[in-house]
Amino acid sequence: MVYDIIIVGAGPAGLTAAIYACRAEKKVLVLEKATFGGQITSSPCVENYPGFVKMSGNEFADKLLEQAMGLGTEIEMAEALSLENKGETRLVHTDRGDFEARAVILATGARHRPLGIENEEKFVGRGISYCAVCDGAFYRGKDILMIGGGNSALQETVLLSDMCHSVTVVQNLAFLTGEPRLIRKIEEKENVRVILSHVVEALEGDTDLRRVIIRHAETGEKQTLVTDGMFVCIGQMPENEGFASSVEVNEAGYITAGEDCLTKDEAVFVAGDCRTKRVRQITTATADGSIAAVAACRYLDK
């Protein structure tokens, strides 16, 4: 079968694109390798989406998926590996076979950025986690570290502070970069302390993480923190590895595209966190999804 549009990724950008494309009466397939809704499903509380005072990331994702499928979107659980230009169509190679369409929207999103230091992989699941919503309950009553000082790190710190004995935030800069509202929240928490201008130097332990050595970013002075666990929240990495030969990507791996969501291939469009942009939020992801879908439909209808 040749679809009108294949969308790679079922996050807010991809599912919004599916909704718009299906409403334009296109035959749409969404390929997703892991979780419907993308990273937003890890957020316990979404308070910045217009029209909704408060909801969980899972609630938001469920509503998007229900709406997309209700309009006729087909879903295939498969990991997209690469893209091939077949002239009139594009072939998406996946771990579960090939899928063909006249146009493709890449909405692959981004993943948690690791520290990239020795022993990190060894301790993943044994003291190191990248998702407080997923793993926070395992550390109830424990003393843990949060690496990072942005919005996501501070939001997860607030969540963890309600279940852990203590949370120590380690930030590489001399200040926290999260929203003032979140900074005020953690300042009000008696069981939260913040260590600024420090980076993680080393990870120690036998089978589980037990000690984290941090280093002052300017003086180089080191100190050892004894901990029951560590959450890493230091940003994102795009999931574009398989498409670098089909579309243009920058040094960080993000697909080069402007607000029009167009790529160098006239039949390939991009939406969401995987493209070059200044603001990566749910609102900008859904906006991209609608723009990319409209652009794809115009391409097909010309």
Write the burial class of residue 134 (CB in 10 Å: 0-12 exposed, 13-18 middle, 19+ buried): exposed
What is the per-residue pLDDT across 109-119, written as a single tens digit (0 to 9) for each? 988 889 999 99
Q: Which residue, of 210, 232, 254, is where some domain finishes?
A: 232
pLDDT (mean) for 74-81 = 97
CATH of the domain at 146: 3.50.50.60
What is the per-residue pLDDT across 133-161, written as a single tens digit (0 to 9) for each? 778 888 999 999 999 999 989 999 999 99
CA Rg, the chain, in Å?
A: 21
What is the per-residue pLDDT across 181-221, written as a single tens digit (0 to 9) for each? 999 999 999 999 999 999 999 999 999 999 999 999 999 99
Residues 200 and 143 in one domain: yes
DSSP H helices in 198-281: none
Using pLDDT thresholds of 50, 70 and 90, give the confidence band for residue 105: very high
The residue segments making up the domain with residue 127 are: 120-232
Q: Which residue, of 207, 232, 257, is where some domain finishes?
A: 232
Residues 36 and 127 in one domain: no
Using pLDDT thresholds of 50, 70 and 90, give the confidence band for residue 233: very high
Residues 102 and 26 in one domain: yes
Residues 100 and 9 in one domain: yes
pLDDT (mean) for 72-93 = 97
Instruction: Give Cα separations from 115 to 106, 129, 172, 230 (angstroms).
Output: 27, 11, 12, 11
Residues 258 and 223 in one domain: no
Using pLDDT thresholds of 50, 70 and 90, give the confidence band for residue 79: very high
Residues 275 and 214 in one domain: no
Active site residue 208: no
Name the pTM for this structure: 0.77
Active site residue 164: no
pLDDT (mean) for 156-176 = 97
Residues 221 and 178 in one domain: yes
Residues 88 and 127 in one domain: no
Q: Which residue, of 232, 258, 293, is where some domain finishes?
A: 232
Q: Which of 45, 95, 134, 208 is catalytic?
A: 134
DSSP H helices in the chain: 12-23, 57-70, 120-123, 132-135, 151-161, 180-187, 282-301
- Checking if the pLDDT of 239 tops 90, the result is no
Active site residue 134: yes
How many domains does the structure of the chain reveal?
A: 2
Pairwise CA distance, residues 72 & 224, whole Å: 55
By percentage, how much of the chain surpasses pLDDT 90?
A: 82
As given in the structure block, the two tokens for residue 181 are 């509202």
Contact indicator for 47, 54 with CB cutoff of 8 Å:
yes
